[in-house]
Structure 1
């Protein structure tokens, strides 16, 4: 059948290589060679010459139409025509409608594996932060190691959210983005720093006030002709 498809109307001009025939027929080259040898022995085809090709040459064949016509038919015979009996349902009042394999209303269920892949892809897809996002206890726990007060963390969350919305940022993991915010160049304290910051500043200010002399006492000491230490003692 393959060689007949390549032949002219008189059966001549078949010069397709056996390698191409084997590839198109999805069989081995040896099988093609054996089949051609058998057909030559049966007189169905014959070699008529050689044609040059880019890989050297290939043989040209011809189908012997007379020998082919003399072969015994391999069909089981013509099947007798069967009479069609009516079903009694009657003729349809409407014309016969053509059935289309891809009807617009046909629902094609996705394969289970495709559904799993789609869900997995959706789970790892970058998303935007919701405009109504609010800080939760989880947010405090994620950054509590930085030692900031709850007031500072609340202020930072609002800044983090505003920055994400203003710049259209999308992340696959917003919890990780929130943790990294405190190490990003956008971070700066908004309410005075950590929960121990106020105590540290107060201690520093007290130490400075102790080491610094009182201006009023210094003036009194100068007027009295006393030293600064004596002035403090007299006071």
Structure 2
């Protein structure tokens, strides 16, 4: 929330420019802006919920405020972490309309002003004269300005992408404990995905203000679309009949025979079940060629 932006919307914008719903929409944007009146990105759904107006009224109101020069489109990179459907980022123009204001209100008679709240206000502001109701409103406005001047400057939130520089992925970047917990919850192999994520960032030359947040989005988006590596996933067929390991187990004696393809496929199945190629080769070293199939079936049963 920015007191300066709210003060501008309430006091510096002429009333004839923000009639009806426009004022409430402008105040809501000012409430979401930073200290400079920039970076307000409430979604239309949120504006509808807070104001009670229809979506069409909100859309027309934003268009009218932009046409009147009260707001303009800001840095849209602020919402890049929100995914595909991102709200529009608005900046308040903070123009000085004080020169365009109408004449002040007529002052009421002197006898109509003495009230208890006014006396308290006079007690806080020593030396300030009793004035008409219109001058009293001006005094309250001055008080709001003084309060703002005493307000300390608040640093932009860390999540505000505009406040930080877009940098390439650091060479020593690695997933955090938070990433690993998220990956475990989603059933994803965090180390494999981190490697893919870093390689892609280096290959494309991408930059980001928050690489940790970008990797969290990578994990969640990949889980939704189903292209992440499942944790502890093993390939369905690591070896095939043409694998070098299969050839080493069978050797060259049987290569070219009618039974070679059947034997090679059987050996590949055993290796895919977890048998060590060297151990299997030693076990079959002294087995006659005509007994290979029976021996392989025994090995399969044992596996």
Quick check: TM above 0.5? no
TM-score in terms of structure 2 length: 0.25
Q: Larger % of helix: which? A: 2
Q: Larger % of strand: which? A: 1
TM-score in terms of structure 1 length: 0.31
